[in-house]
Structure 1
Protein backbone atom coordinates (compact mmCIF):
# COMPACT_ATOMS: atom_id res chain seq x y z
CA UNK A 1 0.00 0.00 0.00
CA UNK A 2 1.35 3.38 -0.98
CA UNK A 3 1.74 6.24 1.46
CA UNK A 4 -1.05 8.02 -0.37
CA UNK A 5 -3.41 5.08 0.25
CA UNK A 6 -2.44 5.02 3.94
CA UNK A 7 -3.14 8.73 4.22
CA UNK A 8 -6.55 8.25 2.58
CA UNK A 9 -7.41 5.49 5.07
CA UNK A 10 -6.45 7.75 8.00
CA UNK A 11 -8.50 10.60 6.64
CA UNK A 12 -11.50 8.27 6.42
CA UNK A 13 -11.23 6.56 9.79
CA UNK A 14 -10.33 9.54 11.95
CA UNK A 15 -13.52 11.57 11.31
CA UNK A 16 -15.56 8.37 11.70
CA UNK A 17 -13.90 7.60 15.05
CA UNK A 18 -14.39 11.16 16.27
CA UNK A 19 -18.04 11.02 15.23
CA UNK A 20 -18.63 7.80 17.15
CA UNK A 21 -16.89 9.21 20.23
CA UNK A 22 -18.97 12.39 20.03
CA UNK A 23 -22.17 10.35 19.66
CA UNK A 24 -21.31 8.18 22.65
CA UNK A 25 -20.40 11.22 24.74
CA UNK A 26 -23.62 12.99 23.81
CA UNK A 27 -25.68 9.96 24.79
CA UNK A 28 -23.87 9.67 28.11
CA UNK A 29 -24.40 13.37 28.86
CA UNK A 30 -28.07 13.14 27.95
CA UNK A 31 -28.55 10.16 30.28
CA UNK A 32 -26.68 11.90 33.10
CA UNK A 33 -28.68 15.10 32.63
CA UNK A 34 -31.99 13.21 32.72
CA UNK A 35 -30.97 11.37 35.87
CA UNK A 36 -29.81 14.62 37.49
CA UNK A 37 -33.00 16.47 36.58
CA UNK A 38 -35.11 13.77 38.19
CA UNK A 39 -33.01 14.00 41.36
CA UNK A 40 -33.28 17.78 41.42
CA UNK A 41 -37.06 17.61 40.95
CA UNK A 42 -37.38 15.15 43.83
CA UNK A 43 -35.22 17.36 46.07
CA UNK A 44 -37.26 20.46 45.20
CA UNK A 45 -40.45 18.57 45.97
CA UNK A 46 -39.13 17.54 49.39
CA UNK A 47 -37.98 21.11 50.12
CA UNK A 48 -41.40 22.47 49.15
CA UNK A 49 -43.15 19.92 51.36
CA UNK A 50 -40.95 20.96 54.28
CA UNK A 51 -41.62 24.66 53.68
CA UNK A 52 -45.37 24.07 53.48
CA UNK A 53 -45.37 22.23 56.78
CA UNK A 54 -43.46 25.07 58.48
CA UNK A 55 -46.26 27.60 57.94
CA UNK A 56 -49.05 25.31 59.15
CA UNK A 57 -49.43 24.01 62.72
CA UNK A 58 -48.65 20.33 63.20
CA UNK A 59 -51.74 18.22 62.53
CA UNK A 60 -53.64 21.10 60.94
CA UNK A 61 -54.55 18.98 57.93
CA UNK A 62 -54.68 15.30 57.05
CA UNK A 63 -54.13 15.51 53.30
CA UNK A 64 -51.12 15.85 50.98
CA UNK A 65 -50.89 19.58 50.17
CA UNK A 66 -48.86 18.92 47.04
CA UNK A 67 -51.79 17.00 45.58
CA UNK A 68 -54.47 19.57 46.42
CA UNK A 69 -53.70 22.72 44.47
CA UNK A 70 -55.58 25.43 42.62
CA UNK A 71 -54.28 28.27 40.47
CA UNK A 72 -55.88 31.69 40.72
CA UNK A 73 -54.92 34.88 38.87
CA UNK A 74 -54.20 37.93 41.00
CA UNK A 75 -55.23 41.48 40.11
CA UNK A 76 -52.20 41.81 37.80
CA UNK A 77 -53.09 38.63 35.94
CA UNK A 78 -50.23 36.65 37.50
CA UNK A 79 -51.12 33.08 38.35
CA UNK A 80 -50.75 32.09 42.00
CA UNK A 81 -50.54 28.43 43.00
CA UNK A 82 -52.41 27.73 46.23
CA UNK A 83 -51.87 24.59 48.30
CA UNK A 84 -54.93 23.61 50.34
CA UNK A 85 -54.97 21.90 53.71
CA UNK A 86 -57.97 19.72 54.55
CA UNK A 87 -59.35 18.09 57.67
CA UNK A 88 -61.85 15.28 57.07
CA UNK A 89 -62.22 16.51 53.48
CA UNK A 90 -62.97 20.15 54.31
CA UNK A 91 -60.50 22.91 53.43
CA UNK A 92 -59.20 24.43 56.67
CA UNK A 93 -56.13 26.28 55.42
CA UNK A 94 -54.17 27.49 52.44
CA UNK A 95 -50.51 28.14 51.65
CA UNK A 96 -49.11 30.28 48.84
CA UNK A 97 -46.25 32.58 47.91
CA UNK A 98 -46.34 36.37 47.94
CA UNK A 99 -43.54 38.86 47.28
CA UNK A 100 -42.47 42.49 47.54
CA UNK A 101 -39.36 44.45 46.59
CA UNK A 102 -36.77 44.66 49.36
CA UNK A 103 -33.45 46.50 49.53
CA UNK A 104 -31.54 44.23 47.14
CA UNK A 105 -34.30 42.46 45.25
CA UNK A 106 -37.62 40.70 45.59
CA UNK A 107 -38.35 39.01 48.92
CA UNK A 108 -40.50 35.91 48.48
CA UNK A 109 -42.63 34.90 51.45
CA UNK A 110 -44.59 31.69 51.92
CA UNK A 111 -47.68 32.30 54.04
CA UNK A 112 -50.16 29.93 55.66
CA UNK A 113 -53.71 31.02 56.49
CA UNK A 114 -56.71 29.30 58.00
CA UNK A 115 -59.91 29.24 55.98
CA UNK A 116 -61.05 32.53 57.52
CA UNK A 117 -57.88 34.37 56.54
CA UNK A 118 -55.97 34.39 59.83
CA UNK A 119 -52.20 34.01 59.64
CA UNK A 120 -50.95 30.59 60.74
CA UNK A 121 -47.33 31.15 59.78
CA UNK A 122 -44.89 32.81 57.39
CA UNK A 123 -41.42 31.99 56.12
CA UNK A 124 -39.10 33.95 53.84
CA UNK A 125 -37.98 31.44 51.22
CA UNK A 126 -35.96 33.74 48.96
CA UNK A 127 -34.16 37.05 49.41
CA UNK A 128 -30.95 38.92 48.64
CA UNK A 129 -30.87 41.18 51.67
CA UNK A 130 -27.68 42.24 53.48
CA UNK A 131 -26.22 39.53 55.76
CA UNK A 132 -26.19 40.61 59.40
CA UNK A 133 -28.91 43.20 58.85
CA UNK A 134 -31.69 42.21 56.48
CA UNK A 135 -31.30 38.49 57.02
CA UNK A 136 -33.13 38.78 60.36
CA UNK A 137 -36.24 37.99 58.34
CA UNK A 138 -35.00 34.39 58.29
CA UNK A 139 -36.44 32.22 61.04
CA UNK A 140 -32.98 30.76 61.68
CA UNK A 141 -31.62 34.25 62.49
CA UNK A 142 -34.53 35.81 64.39
CA UNK A 143 -38.02 35.13 65.75
CA UNK A 144 -39.31 38.29 64.05
CA UNK A 145 -41.23 36.39 61.35
CA UNK A 146 -43.41 34.76 64.04
CA UNK A 147 -45.01 38.16 64.77
CA UNK A 148 -47.42 37.60 61.87
CA UNK A 149 -49.02 34.54 63.48
CA UNK A 150 -52.59 35.09 64.63
CA UNK A 151 -53.00 38.37 62.75
CA UNK A 152 -55.60 39.02 60.07
CA UNK A 153 -57.35 41.81 58.21
CA UNK A 154 -60.12 41.56 60.79
CA UNK A 155 -58.07 42.00 63.96
CA UNK A 156 -55.47 44.44 62.62
CA UNK A 157 -56.53 47.64 60.79
CA UNK A 158 -54.98 48.29 57.39
CA UNK A 159 -52.90 51.23 58.65
CA UNK A 160 -51.30 49.00 61.30
CA UNK A 161 -49.89 46.63 58.70
CA UNK A 162 -46.57 48.46 58.74
CA UNK A 163 -43.36 48.70 60.75
CA UNK A 164 -43.49 50.83 63.90
CA UNK A 165 -41.50 53.59 62.21
CA UNK A 166 -44.43 53.96 59.80
CA UNK A 167 -47.10 53.78 62.50
CA UNK A 168 -47.61 50.03 62.38
CA UNK A 169 -47.14 47.22 64.89
CA UNK A 170 -44.15 45.35 63.46
CA UNK A 171 -40.59 45.92 64.62
CA UNK A 172 -38.01 47.26 62.19
CA UNK A 173 -34.31 46.38 62.16
CA UNK A 174 -31.60 48.89 62.97
CA UNK A 175 -30.06 49.90 59.67
CA UNK A 176 -32.41 47.78 57.59
CA UNK A 177 -35.92 49.19 57.77
CA UNK A 178 -36.58 48.58 54.07
CA UNK A 179 -36.34 44.81 54.52
CA UNK A 180 -39.01 44.25 57.21
CA UNK A 181 -41.17 46.88 55.53
CA UNK A 182 -41.11 44.77 52.36
CA UNK A 183 -42.01 41.58 54.21
CA UNK A 184 -44.96 43.28 55.93
CA UNK A 185 -46.10 44.58 52.55
CA UNK A 186 -45.82 41.12 50.98
CA UNK A 187 -47.84 39.48 53.75
CA UNK A 188 -50.51 42.19 53.63
CA UNK A 189 -50.76 41.77 49.85
CA UNK A 190 -51.19 38.04 50.37
CA UNK A 191 -54.02 38.59 52.83
CA UNK A 192 -55.72 41.03 50.46
CA UNK A 193 -55.40 38.52 47.63
CA UNK A 194 -56.96 35.75 49.73
CA UNK A 195 -59.80 37.99 50.91
CA UNK A 196 -60.60 38.91 47.33
CA UNK A 197 -60.56 35.31 46.04
CA UNK A 198 -61.56 33.35 49.14
CA UNK A 199 -64.68 31.67 47.77
CA UNK A 200 -62.93 30.75 44.53
CA UNK A 201 -59.93 29.31 46.36
CA UNK A 202 -62.00 27.25 48.80
CA UNK A 203 -64.48 25.87 46.26
CA UNK A 204 -62.36 25.39 43.12
CA UNK A 205 -61.85 21.75 42.04
CA UNK A 206 -58.44 20.28 42.78
CA UNK A 207 -55.99 20.54 39.90
CA UNK A 208 -53.87 17.64 41.06
CA UNK A 209 -50.28 17.26 42.13
CA UNK A 210 -48.15 20.41 41.95
CA UNK A 211 -45.21 20.33 39.59
Structure 2
Protein backbone atom coordinates (compact mmCIF):
# COMPACT_ATOMS: atom_id res chain seq x y z
CA UNK A 1 0.00 0.00 0.00
CA UNK A 2 2.77 2.39 1.00
CA UNK A 3 4.68 1.73 -2.24
CA UNK A 4 1.50 2.33 -4.24
CA UNK A 5 0.97 5.71 -2.55
CA UNK A 6 4.58 6.71 -3.21
CA UNK A 7 4.28 5.63 -6.84
CA UNK A 8 1.06 7.59 -7.36
CA UNK A 9 2.60 10.61 -5.65
CA UNK A 10 5.60 10.49 -7.93
CA UNK A 11 3.35 10.18 -10.99
CA UNK A 12 1.26 13.15 -9.90
CA UNK A 13 4.39 15.16 -9.13
CA UNK A 14 5.85 14.34 -12.53
CA UNK A 15 2.60 15.26 -14.26
CA UNK A 16 2.42 18.59 -12.42
CA UNK A 17 6.06 19.32 -13.31
CA UNK A 18 5.41 18.51 -16.97
CA UNK A 19 2.34 20.78 -17.02
CA UNK A 20 4.28 23.61 -15.41
CA UNK A 21 7.07 23.23 -17.94
CA UNK A 22 4.54 23.23 -20.81
CA UNK A 23 2.88 26.40 -19.55
CA UNK A 24 6.27 28.08 -19.15
CA UNK A 25 7.23 27.14 -22.70
CA UNK A 26 3.94 28.46 -24.09
CA UNK A 27 4.32 31.73 -22.16
CA UNK A 28 7.88 32.14 -23.38
CA UNK A 29 6.86 31.41 -26.96
CA UNK A 30 3.96 33.88 -26.95
CA UNK A 31 5.22 36.72 -24.75
CA UNK A 32 6.70 38.68 -27.64
CA UNK A 33 3.51 38.33 -29.66
CA UNK A 34 1.41 39.41 -26.68
CA UNK A 35 3.67 42.40 -26.05
CA UNK A 36 3.37 43.43 -29.71
CA UNK A 37 -0.43 43.15 -29.59
CA UNK A 38 -0.50 45.28 -26.46
CA UNK A 39 1.72 47.86 -28.12
CA UNK A 40 -0.54 48.01 -31.17
CA UNK A 41 -3.65 48.30 -29.03
CA UNK A 42 -2.10 51.14 -27.03
CA UNK A 43 -1.11 52.92 -30.24
CA UNK A 44 -4.67 52.56 -31.55
CA UNK A 45 -6.11 54.04 -28.35
CA UNK A 46 -3.63 56.91 -28.33
CA UNK A 47 -4.70 57.82 -31.87
CA UNK A 48 -8.30 57.89 -30.65
CA UNK A 49 -7.86 60.05 -27.57
CA UNK A 50 -5.23 62.48 -28.89
CA UNK A 51 -6.20 63.25 -32.51
CA UNK A 52 -3.40 63.12 -35.07
CA UNK A 53 -4.23 66.57 -36.44
CA UNK A 54 -3.24 68.36 -33.23
CA UNK A 55 0.26 66.90 -32.85
CA UNK A 56 3.11 65.97 -35.20
CA UNK A 57 5.28 63.73 -32.98
CA UNK A 58 5.20 59.99 -32.32
CA UNK A 59 3.02 59.94 -29.23
CA UNK A 60 3.77 56.37 -28.17
CA UNK A 61 7.53 57.07 -28.30
CA UNK A 62 7.28 60.39 -26.46
CA UNK A 63 6.78 58.89 -23.05
CA UNK A 64 7.85 59.60 -19.48
CA UNK A 65 7.01 57.87 -16.19
CA UNK A 66 5.62 59.64 -13.14
CA UNK A 67 5.13 58.29 -9.63
CA UNK A 68 2.15 59.86 -7.87
CA UNK A 69 0.34 57.18 -5.81
CA UNK A 70 -2.30 59.49 -4.33
CA UNK A 71 -3.34 60.94 -7.68
CA UNK A 72 -2.80 57.95 -9.97
CA UNK A 73 -3.92 55.14 -7.68
CA UNK A 74 -0.71 53.11 -7.83
CA UNK A 75 2.73 53.06 -6.22
CA UNK A 76 4.13 52.03 -9.61
CA UNK A 77 5.38 54.62 -12.11
CA UNK A 78 2.65 55.46 -14.63
CA UNK A 79 3.26 56.45 -18.26
CA UNK A 80 2.51 59.88 -19.65
CA UNK A 81 2.53 60.33 -23.44
CA UNK A 82 3.43 63.87 -24.48
CA UNK A 83 2.01 65.41 -27.64
CA UNK A 84 3.77 68.30 -29.33
CA UNK A 85 3.38 70.25 -32.57
CA UNK A 86 6.35 72.10 -33.95
CA UNK A 87 8.11 71.28 -30.69
CA UNK A 88 5.47 73.03 -28.58
CA UNK A 89 3.33 71.18 -25.99
CA UNK A 90 -0.27 70.65 -27.13
CA UNK A 91 -1.67 67.62 -25.30
CA UNK A 92 -0.89 64.52 -23.30
CA UNK A 93 -2.33 61.13 -22.44
CA UNK A 94 -1.81 59.69 -18.98
CA UNK A 95 -2.55 56.24 -17.59
CA UNK A 96 -4.17 56.10 -14.18
CA UNK A 97 -5.96 53.66 -11.89
CA UNK A 98 -9.24 53.80 -10.01
CA UNK A 99 -8.41 51.49 -7.08
CA UNK A 100 -11.96 51.51 -5.69
CA UNK A 101 -13.93 49.88 -8.48
CA UNK A 102 -16.65 47.41 -7.53
CA UNK A 103 -14.37 44.46 -8.27
CA UNK A 104 -10.97 46.06 -7.86
CA UNK A 105 -8.66 48.19 -9.97
CA UNK A 106 -9.87 49.93 -13.11
CA UNK A 107 -7.03 51.04 -15.39
CA UNK A 108 -7.81 53.89 -17.74
CA UNK A 109 -6.08 56.44 -19.93
CA UNK A 110 -6.98 60.11 -20.14
CA UNK A 111 -6.23 62.38 -23.09
CA UNK A 112 -6.27 66.12 -22.38
CA UNK A 113 -4.94 69.21 -24.11
CA UNK A 114 -2.77 71.83 -22.42
CA UNK A 115 -5.82 74.05 -21.82
CA UNK A 116 -7.53 71.39 -19.72
CA UNK A 117 -10.03 70.16 -22.30
CA UNK A 118 -10.56 66.41 -22.25
CA UNK A 119 -9.90 64.91 -25.67
CA UNK A 120 -10.86 61.34 -24.85
CA UNK A 121 -10.86 58.66 -22.18
CA UNK A 122 -10.67 54.89 -22.56
CA UNK A 123 -10.72 51.93 -20.20
CA UNK A 124 -7.62 49.75 -20.51
CA UNK A 125 -8.54 46.96 -18.08
CA UNK A 126 -11.09 46.17 -15.39
CA UNK A 127 -13.00 43.37 -13.66
CA UNK A 128 -16.35 45.09 -13.25
CA UNK A 129 -19.65 43.20 -13.43
CA UNK A 130 -20.74 42.23 -16.97
CA UNK A 131 -23.91 44.02 -17.98
CA UNK A 132 -23.52 46.67 -15.26
CA UNK A 133 -20.08 48.07 -14.51
CA UNK A 134 -18.60 47.04 -17.86
CA UNK A 135 -20.34 50.00 -19.50
CA UNK A 136 -17.05 51.81 -18.96
CA UNK A 137 -15.88 49.91 -22.07
CA UNK A 138 -16.54 51.76 -25.32
CA UNK A 139 -17.45 48.52 -27.07
CA UNK A 140 -20.22 48.00 -24.52
CA UNK A 141 -21.53 51.56 -24.16
CA UNK A 142 -20.75 55.11 -25.30
CA UNK A 143 -20.67 56.47 -21.73
CA UNK A 144 -16.95 57.34 -21.89
CA UNK A 145 -17.60 59.59 -24.91
CA UNK A 146 -19.52 61.93 -22.61
CA UNK A 147 -16.20 63.29 -21.31
CA UNK A 148 -15.07 64.52 -24.72
CA UNK A 149 -14.79 68.29 -24.95
CA UNK A 150 -15.35 68.85 -21.23
CA UNK A 151 -13.00 71.28 -19.53
CA UNK A 152 -11.55 70.46 -16.13
CA UNK A 153 -10.56 73.06 -13.55
CA UNK A 154 -8.89 71.92 -10.34
CA UNK A 155 -10.43 74.88 -8.54
CA UNK A 156 -13.91 73.53 -9.30
CA UNK A 157 -13.92 69.70 -9.48
CA UNK A 158 -17.54 69.39 -8.25
CA UNK A 159 -19.06 68.80 -11.73
CA UNK A 160 -16.76 65.78 -12.17
CA UNK A 161 -18.96 63.48 -10.14
CA UNK A 162 -21.95 61.30 -10.89
CA UNK A 163 -25.33 63.02 -10.73
CA UNK A 164 -26.20 61.10 -7.56
CA UNK A 165 -23.30 62.94 -5.86
CA UNK A 166 -24.22 66.34 -7.30
CA UNK A 167 -22.09 66.16 -10.45
CA UNK A 168 -23.06 66.25 -14.12
CA UNK A 169 -22.28 62.72 -15.28
CA UNK A 170 -24.72 59.84 -15.43
CA UNK A 171 -24.29 56.80 -13.26
CA UNK A 172 -25.33 53.36 -14.51
CA UNK A 173 -28.70 51.86 -13.67
CA UNK A 174 -28.05 49.50 -10.78
CA UNK A 175 -24.35 50.36 -10.64
CA UNK A 176 -23.12 53.59 -9.06
CA UNK A 177 -19.86 52.39 -7.52
CA UNK A 178 -18.09 51.84 -10.85
CA UNK A 179 -18.76 55.27 -12.45
CA UNK A 180 -18.14 57.00 -9.11
CA UNK A 181 -14.70 55.36 -8.83
CA UNK A 182 -14.03 56.19 -12.49
CA UNK A 183 -14.86 59.88 -12.04
CA UNK A 184 -12.88 60.12 -8.82
CA UNK A 185 -9.83 58.78 -10.66
CA UNK A 186 -10.32 61.23 -13.53
CA UNK A 187 -10.68 64.18 -11.16
CA UNK A 188 -7.54 63.27 -9.20
CA UNK A 189 -5.58 62.67 -12.39
CA UNK A 190 -6.62 65.92 -14.09
CA UNK A 191 -5.83 67.87 -10.93
CA UNK A 192 -2.31 66.42 -11.09
CA UNK A 193 -2.05 67.21 -14.80
CA UNK A 194 -3.02 70.84 -14.19
CA UNK A 195 -0.31 71.18 -11.54
CA UNK A 196 2.56 69.34 -13.23
CA UNK A 197 2.06 69.31 -17.01
CA UNK A 198 4.52 72.16 -17.61
CA UNK A 199 7.28 70.28 -15.78
CA UNK A 200 6.51 67.01 -17.57
CA UNK A 201 7.13 68.52 -20.99
CA UNK A 202 10.63 69.54 -19.81
CA UNK A 203 11.67 66.04 -18.76
CA UNK A 204 13.89 63.79 -20.88
CA UNK A 205 11.86 61.14 -22.65
CA UNK A 206 12.00 57.50 -21.68
CA UNK A 207 9.55 55.08 -20.08
CA UNK A 208 12.04 53.30 -17.83
CA UNK A 209 11.60 53.06 -14.05
CA UNK A 210 15.14 54.23 -13.32
CA UNK A 211 14.62 57.33 -15.47
CA UNK A 212 11.38 58.08 -13.65
CA UNK A 213 13.18 57.88 -10.32
CA UNK A 214 15.95 60.16 -11.57
CA UNK A 215 13.43 62.67 -12.93
CA UNK A 216 11.45 62.68 -9.68
CA UNK A 217 14.67 63.24 -7.75
CA UNK A 218 15.62 66.13 -10.00
CA UNK A 219 12.16 67.66 -9.64
CA UNK A 220 12.40 67.37 -5.85
CA UNK A 221 15.86 68.95 -5.85
CA UNK A 222 14.58 71.80 -8.00
CA UNK A 223 11.63 72.37 -5.66
CA UNK A 224 13.94 72.40 -2.64
CA UNK A 225 16.23 74.89 -4.36
CA UNK A 226 13.31 77.14 -5.25
CA UNK A 227 12.03 76.95 -1.68
CA UNK A 228 15.47 77.84 -0.32
CA UNK A 229 15.74 80.78 -2.69
CA UNK A 230 12.29 82.00 -1.68
CA UNK A 231 13.15 81.76 1.99
CA UNK A 232 16.32 83.72 1.37
CA UNK A 233 14.44 86.48 -0.47
CA UNK A 234 11.97 86.80 2.38
TM-score (norm 2): 0.70
* Matching residue of 2:221: none
SS for the counterpart of 1:117 is coil
Counterpart CA distance in 2 for 1:205 and 1:115 is: 19
> Is residue 39 of structure 1 aligned with residue 38 of structure 2?
no
- Within a 5 Å distance, the mapping from 1:143-162 to structure 2 comes to 143-154=142-153, 157-162=156-161
- The question of whether the paired residues in 1 share the 8 Å contact of 2:154 and 2:190 is answered with no
Shift of 1:144: 1.1
* Matching residue of 2:197: 198
SS for the counterpart of 2:158 is helix
Counterpart CA distance in 2 for 1:68 and 1:113 is: 15
Give the superposed CA RMSD.
2.4
Select the structure of larger CA radius of gyration: 1
Q: Show CA shifts across 1:50-104 (max 9, x none).
A: 1211211242222211211112221546422111112122221111111211111
Q: Which runs of 5+ in 2 are unaligned?
A: 1-20, 210-234
* Matching residue of 2:120: 121
Q: Show CA shifts across 1:129-157 (max 9, x none).
A: 11111111111122211111122333982
Q: Which range moved further: 162-171 or 108-117?
A: 108-117
The correspondence for 1:67, drawn from 61, 65, 69, is 61
Q: Which runs of 5+ in 1 are unaligned?
A: 1-25
Higher RCO structure (Cα 8 Å, ≥6 apart): 1
SS for the counterpart of 1:159 is coil
Residue 75 to residue 136, structure 1, CA distance change in 2 (3 Å): closer
TM-score (norm 1): 0.77
> Is residue 103 of structure 1 aligned with residue 117 of structure 2?
no
- The question of whether the paired residues in 2 share the 8 Å contact of 1:94 and 1:115 is answered with yes
SS for the counterpart of 1:191 is helix
Shift of 1:33: 5.8
Counterpart CA distance in 1 for 2:197 and 2:137 is: 28
* Matching residue of 1:23: none
Name the one with the larger helix percent.
2
Residue 78 to residue 34, structure 1, CA distance change in 2 (3 Å): closer
Counterpart CA distance in 2 for 1:120 and 1:209 is: 26
Counterpart CA distance in 1 for 2:92 and 2:41 is: 18
